[in-house]
Amino acid sequence: MLCLKAPRRFVRVAAVCALCLSGIPVAAQDYPARPLRIVTGAPGSTAEFAARMLGQGLSDAFNQSAVVDPRSTGGATIFGEIVARAAPDGHTLLVIGSTLWLGPLFRRAPFDPLRDFSYIAILTDSPNILVVHPSLPVHSVKDLIALGKAKPRALNYSTSGIGASPHLAAELFKSMTGTDITHVPYKGAGAAIIAVLGGEAQLSFASAASVTAQINAGKVRAIAVTGLKPYSVFPDLPTVAATVPGYESGAATGFFAPARTPLPIIERLNREALRLLARADVKAKFLATGAEATGSTPQQLANLVKADSAKWSKVIRDAGIKLE
């Protein structure tokens, strides 16, 4: 019996073709080959919670450990750079909120959020909630607009800091309604709400997580949510857009990899993320933190980053917002 030995090059090509025909992506066939690293925000943040939930889901799906690496200092500039410069092999990942793409609008960053990342999925979305002190004679967005126009600069609004999502939400509201309300920034969401409780500020565009307990206790009055659709925690609250057409603001959490990560790996990570986010128990856990588990295609996250960058750069420019 004659046994013919094929040339090595032929064998390699044949093996690759066989894998292609079998439907197994060549670039992702052995992925992951080692533990995953998920870089994220500070402990206690929505991004960090999402990273831990995702890490457990990916660990179970891949039978490979996933190490969550929360960063308390340096902000999105530091951990964005870590992932942007990592090898594009799907083993270093990033879970972070809109500071990744809004931060560079204020100061130069060592990465370009539109070019230096591969987009995987939107993980969560959290609206801001417009709340007022109970003593303020305002029970609707229409009331607030009327009062703001009747008494320019008489009202103060508190936020968690200059350039934060609530600050941008308020400035967008002012520009779209023609109201003149004074910004009073505080160090953190908790301090911003305490300011409203104590009467230092009459209103706030607060993150859902920071103000839900005070709303339930009747310590502040919720007027509206800033998203385009009702918020499941307070389904009876109207949207700002119901009174101000086209208004929308929120805080999304995205899932990213370094640019040029192979598409089969991106697709696999997307599938596992969506599978996790579809679970009822996972949705409930996110909602308890004030965030809604969403999920999306990679292209939808890319569209969000691009649209947000264009939208908020105009708001920042028109309002003259500068970080101190």
Q: What is the DSSP string of 62-94?
A: HTS-EEEEE--SSHHHHHHHHHHTS-SSSSEEE
Residue type, 105: L
Tell whether 18 is covered by a domain. no
Which CATH number characterizes residue 108's domain? 3.40.190.150
Nearest to 257 by CA among 28, 43, 75: 28
Residues 54 and 66 in one domain: yes
CA dist 85 and 102 (Å) reads: 19
> For residues 216 and 229, is the Cβ–Cβ distance under 8 A?
no
Which CATH number characterizes residue 170's domain? 3.40.190.10
Residues 237 and 192 in one domain: yes
Residues whose CB falls within 8 Å of the CB of residue 188, separated by 6 or more in sequence, listed in order: 160, 161
Q: Within a 10 A sphere around the Cβ of 66, how many other Cβ atoms? A: 22
Residues 86 and 156 in one domain: no
CA dist 59 and 50 (Å) reads: 14
Residues 165 and 195 in one domain: yes
How does pLDDT run across 218-238, given as a tens digit for each residue? 999 999 999 999 998 899 999
Q: What is the DSSP letter of 231?
A: B
Q: At what angle are helices 280-288 and 46-62 packed, to 10 degrees? A: 160
Which of 242, 258, 279 terminates a domain? The answer is: 242
CA dist 212 and 129 (Å) reads: 9
Residue 123: C-alpha distances to residues 66, 88, 163, 199, 297 (Å): 17, 21, 22, 35, 10
Tell whether 285 is covered by a domain. yes
Q: Which residues of the chain have pLDDT under 70?
A: 1-28, 73-75, 324
Which of 225, 242, 259 terminates a domain? The answer is: 242
Residues whose CB falls within 8 Å of the CB of residue 289, separated by 6 or more in sequence, listed in order: 46, 49, 209
Residues 82 and 222 in one domain: no
Residues 39 and 53 in one domain: yes
Return phi, psi of residue 323, to 5°. -75, 140
Residues 114 and 254 in one domain: yes
Tell whether 13 is covered by a domain. no
Give buried/exposed letters for 162-177 (b at 16+ CB in 10 A, else e). ebbbbbbbbbbbbebb
Tell whether 113 is covered by a domain. yes
Tell whether 280 is covered by a domain. yes
Residues 220 and 131 in one domain: yes
Residues 228 and 191 in one domain: yes
Q: What is the pLDDT of residue 187?
A: 85
Strands (E), the chain: 36-40, 66-70, 92-97, 117-132, 156-159, 182-185, 203-207, 221-225, 250-258, 292-293
Residues 121 and 269 in one domain: yes
Classified as helix, coil or strand, 20 is helix
Q: What is the pLDDT of residue 161?
A: 86
Classified as helix, coil or strand, 203 is strand
Q: What is the pLDDT of residue 204?
A: 95
Which of 214, 242, 270 terminates a domain? The answer is: 242
Tell whether 59 is covered by a domain. yes
Tell whether 53 is covered by a domain. yes
* Structural domain of 156: 127-242
Tell whether 190 is covered by a domain. yes
The number of domains in the chain is: 2
- What is the rounded average pLDDT for all residues in the chain? 88
Residues 145 and 237 in one domain: yes
Q: What is the pTM of this model?
A: 0.85
For residue 284, the number of C-alpha atoms closer than 13 Å in the C-beta half-sphere is 3
CA dist 100 and 111 (Å) reads: 10
Residues 136 and 224 in one domain: yes
